[in-house]
Structure 1
Amino acid sequence: MQALQVSRYLGLWHEEFERNAWQYHVAMMEGHNVPEDHKRKYCEELLADQKLGQNRFVLNHGFYVGLNAEHPRKYFALQVALYNLLANFHARRIKAATAWLERRGLLDPAPRRLLRPHSPEWFASLREWDPKQAAMTAAATTVAGTFNVCSICADDPARDYALVRPPAAGPGTIRLCDDCFGIQSIDNSLEPF
């Protein structure tokens, strides 16, 4: 633990963020003193890399969530927090690059793709981001004998909701009973779909 703090490993992201702040918000990208072709190349390459597969921050986050669930350690918890932060920063870069290209007509706006809760694609997406939650939800639906139950407590009836502010990774949707909706909506803006 001390080695992580002394080496500044947990804070290196801060230096990168300050050095390249223009990459994290489209308004800053617009005003940044870099040639237009450089910005275009950066945005196109970033989105091309994203299409190749899940980013390493999401994969590492999922790995440490699973590891910390099996073998709780302060080190693993710090890594979960670090990769959560890095995945969120990466999502901001993707959002800024996408918006910059869309504003110039270089990329067609894509509608948000919502995954139906408890579908195979939904579980795969959740498993990458939070394998512990995916396992708990899978167990809940198995015990209930149906997928048409709350993702958290397995109560029925339950409705499908989308997070208004999509997370850095994971499905961004959830199936909730009225009680769990009341609890979840305190911290997360949700809309039915």
Structure 2
Amino acid sequence: MGRISLKDTRQKEIILAFYTVAKKIGLENASIAKVADHMDINPSLIVHYFKTREALFSGLIDFILEQYSDIYKTNGQDYTNARELKQLIDNLFSRKWNKLFDDSVFYSCYALVYRDKKIRSAFKALHESLRKLLTDALQKANKNGVINIRNEKETVEIIFALMEGAYYYLGMVDSKTDYTRKLNMLKKHALLQLGL
């Protein structure tokens, strides 16, 4: 059994502190100095592990992926029946996303893809990873005869467009009743894509 590296542990602590500071004061205001202050450490220690603020962003994007991939960890990861696949879609179209990662930090991070090529590349990799997780699930379900779709990747693109559009748009809906109704409508269309 291998030992957990102190470097990995320290980097995770710094990324979590960066996330906490970004939630509190906004990503655009989160700096190495403010993260160090939050952790009550010298900023040079953060620079030792993350040479630049952009490197911290890259670590934060990896953290987002790690958090979001938890959505795919359902009890029946073999997708041998419709119930398991419906549970995955329920998870994708649920408030669980919001509990995994703060929307304001996510969308602030997303805005940076238009200004920074490295962050754009990291964010693109994040989205490709999430799509691959769903593609893998649909391929298993297809292989097991749970669904019968010709192109899993195309179906995944449609489901993600519904889901991402839903979260962007529904972030502005104040009524819990309207939010739930609209989210359920979009989830129904995702299930229709799968023939469920």
Higher RCO, 1 vs 2 (CA within 8 Å, ≥6 residues apart): 2
TM-score by length of 2: 0.34
TM-score by length of 1: 0.34
More helix by share: 2
